Chains A and B, each alone.
Chain A
Amino acid sequence: MQRDQTFDELAGRCGEWLKGTGPESDIVISSRIRLARNLADFPFIRRCSDEDRLSIERTIRARLDKIPELNEVRYIDVEELSEVDRQFLVERQLISRELADSDGARGVAIDPAEQFSVMVNEEDHLRIQVMHSGLDLENAWQQINRLDDLIESTITYAYHPKYGYLTACPTNVGTGLRVSVMMHLPALVITRQIDKVFRSLQKISVTVRGLYGEGSQYTGDFYQVSNQITLGKTEVELMQQVSEVVPLLIDYERRARQFLVEQSEKDLHDDVSRALGILCTAKKISSEETMHYLSKVRMGVNLGLIDEVAVNIINKLFIHTQPAHLQKLRGKLLGSSDRNIERANYLHQHLSDPGKRESDLN
């Protein structure tokens, strides 16, 4: 395993899951699966001494090192990182806020394509995560299942014949599986149908949640659909619960977009074009405002109303304009007001030079 800890290289490119290439990627941003696992011979994290946590980290690192298939994986010691580097990994969706904010020995192993990561000493000893672009649960499951088998070949997991994989929180016990599909639903928000749609889904055992924080539903129109339970059904059955709901939402969103186009294509075209105009020309812009307009532009691109920007650039800008990314990309710490100026510069650079748009497809 490589131990290179420079983030500059990471900051410049973007994860596989942001490329906007998977099935239904106009509406589905990403498909994520995570498995919660614990070592059989240690207490759960909350009852661990500092030595226990260190020893767990060392054990997991050593065992992952032994797996030839994972030799490209890099381990990042989160405890050693600066605040802004931790925030960077959160924005990147490689670690959770909980892992960033907690104390003690902890870290994350990530593959170069950023398709999978293994968090060490979060709420459970191991949180294995796989993330694919678009609606791609089946392949994501195959990948994570194989990874889990590989890791299990060197680590003895805590397992109970009746309750399955044992986790620190009883809400994760059994499969330890959480499937999350992140969706972009701006037309359902504009047409005020989102409440109605979600109410109709209440009886189905999935949880839908607006994303929060910088890049929130309020400004960004992103929603996450996840399975609610983890025990008593197979992994594939749990995955099906989610993948049965997602096409319904896609269909509703498509119909709402269609309705907007039919009702007044000029108004919609005007709205998304103005959004692009603001992003290209603003001299200072907050993260919230950026999300708000990027969301509109993204829909405009997907509806063919805007053709001068590629969707993968928009996807990338959602992440790269967040505070820690901006600071890493600019190579210095910036206060909120300086960030707003740098953000405007960054957007201008990436949206208004047509040559750049073509060449920047990494």
Chain B
Amino acid sequence: MKCQYCEKPATFHITELIGPDGPQVMHLCEEHARTFLAKESTSPSASIAGALAKQLKLTGKPSAETEQKECPVCGISFFEFRNTGRLGCPYDYTHFDTELEPLLVNIHDAAEHKGKHPRRAPVSADSQATLIQLRREMEEAIEREDYERASEIRDRIRELEETGNR
């Protein structure tokens, strides 16, 4: 059997079960299968990645100002997140909170975690950002062989992680 989109043999057979006309079977070559699985699927809820792509479109194009907003910790812009569907660091959930919340409600029909939580965790979102930055500084210190500074930073990291113990 040939791929639906090209002449190569179809080695992937993907069933999407929630299309407008019921389940659909796609016969694709490896390359087209990968493109298909990576981008939006045939219907909003058919696949999880598809749902996200759809939601990102639904929420409309945000203002130029929002698009350019950047995370101070990892440097990802909201524009880049919208394009890739992947966030840059844990602090993004705090920094882009206003933009992310409606998106999360669309995807999960909820905006608050229920369920287990770690016994130890950074006390606050801010300490999470600090942790990432401190660890970077520590590596820089090690690189320039400033071991005293590095060990100071290490203690500070431990302290932050420890205060999170519940």
A residues in contact (CB < 8 Å) with B:
38, 40-44, 46-47, 51, 55, 123, 145, 148-149, 152-153, 156-166, 168-171, 173-175, 177, 194-195, 198-199, 202, 207-210, 212-214, 216-219, 223, 228-235, 237
- Interfacial chain A residues near B85, Cβ < 8 Å: 169-170
A235-B121 in contact (CB<8A)? no
Closest to A154 in B: B120
- Would you give the shortest CB distance from B88 to chain A, in whole angstroms? 4
Is the Cβ of A152 less than 8 Å from the Cβ of B110?
A: no
A168 cross-chain contacts in B, Cβ below 8 A: 86-87
Looking at A202, A210, A219, A231, which has the most chain B CB atoms within 10 Å of its CB?
A231
B161 touching A208 by the CB < 8 A rule? no
Give the CA-CA distance A43 to B85 in the complex, in Å: 15
Per-residue CB proximity of B49-91 to A under 8 Å, as 1/0?
1011000000000000000000001111000000011111110
Q: Are A229 and B74 in contact (CB under 8 A)?
A: no
By the criterion CB–CB under 8 Å, are A170 and B161 in contact? Answer: no
Within B18-42, the residues touching A (CB, 8 Å) are 18, 22-23, 25, 27, 33
**B13 touches which one: A149, A174, A216, A228 (CB < 8 A)?**
A216
| CB of B14 closer than 8 Å to a CB of A | yes
Quick check: A232 and B112 within 8 Å, CB to CB? yes
- The answer to whether A234 and B132 have CB atoms under 8 Å apart is no
Residues of A within 8 A of B14 (CB): 209-210, 212, 216
Q: B88 — nearest CB in chain A belongs to which residue?
A: A47
Minimum CB distance partner of B157 in chain A? A41
Contacts of B87 in A (CB 8 A): 44, 168-170
Contact of B144 with A by CB under 8 A: no
Min CB gap A14→B, angstroms: 24
Interchain CB contact under 8 A, A159 and B121: yes
Other A-B pairs, 14, CB within 8 Å; known A47-B76, A177-B115: A40-B121, A41-B157, A42-B135, A158-B128, A161-B125, A168-B86, A171-B48, A174-B115, A194-B23, A229-B108, A231-B108, A231-B110, A231-B113, A233-B114
Residues A174 and B113 in contact, CB atoms below 8 Å apart: yes
Question: Does any Cβ of A come within 8 Å of B141's Cβ?
Answer: no
Tier of interface size on chain B: 35 or more
Q: Which residues of chain A are within 8 angstroms of B11 by Cβ–Cβ distance? A: 213-214
User: B122 contacts which chain A residues (CB < 8 A)?
Assistant: 40, 156, 158-159
B12: chain A residues at CB < 8 Å are: 212-213, 216
Name the CB-closest residue of A to B143. Answer: A51
Q: Kindly state whether residue B111 has any CB partner on chain A within 8 Å.
A: yes
| Smallest Cβ-Cβ distance to B10: which chain A residue | A218
Quick one: which of A42, A152, A171 contacts B52, CB cutoff 8 A?
Answer: A171
Write out, one digit per residue, whether chain B residues 81-107 have a CB within 8 A of any chain A CB (1) or not (0): 000111111100110000010011001
CB of A175 within 8 A of CB of B86, answer no
Is A232 within 8 A of B131, CB to CB?
no
Q: Contact between A164 and B117 (Cβ–Cβ < 8 Å)?
A: yes
Chain A residues, CB < 8 A from B104: 163, 170, 173, 231
26 contacts between A and B (CB under 8 A): A38-B90, A40-B122, A40-B128, A41-B132, A43-B74, A44-B74, A44-B89, A47-B89, A152-B120, A159-B122, A165-B113, A169-B86, A170-B104, A173-B113, A198-B18, A198-B23, A210-B15, A212-B12, A213-B33, A216-B14, A218-B27, A228-B48, A229-B107, A232-B108, A233-B115, A235-B116
Closest A-chain residue to B100, C-beta based? Answer: A170
If A41-B132, A158-B128, A194-B23 touch, whether A47 touches B74 (CB-CB below 8 Å) is yes
Shortest A227–chain B CB gap in Å is 10
- Select from chain B the residue with minimum beta-carbon distance to A223: B15
Min CB gap B20→A, angstroms: 11
In the complex, what residues of B have CB within 8 A of residue A42's CB? Answer: 89, 132, 135
Contact A41/B135 with A175-B116, A209-B17 known, Cβ cut-off 8 Å: yes
**B48: shortest Cβ distance to chain A, in Å?**
5
A51 to B16, CA, bound (A): 39
Q: Which residue of B lies closest to A51 (CB)?
A: B139
Residue B86 contacts which of A123, A214, A216, A237 (CB distance < 8 angstroms)? A123
Residues of A within 8 A of B90 (CB): 38, 40, 44, 158, 160, 166
Residues in B whose Cβ lies below 8 Å from that of A213:
11-12, 33
A43→B116 CA distance, assembly (Å):
23
Instruction: Specify which of A160, A174, A194, A219 is in contact with B94 (CB 8 Å cutoff).
Output: A160
- Please give, as numbers and ranges, the residues of chain B lying within 8 Å of A199 by CB-CB distance: 22-23
- The answer, yes or no, to whether B109 is at the interface (CB within 8 Å) is yes
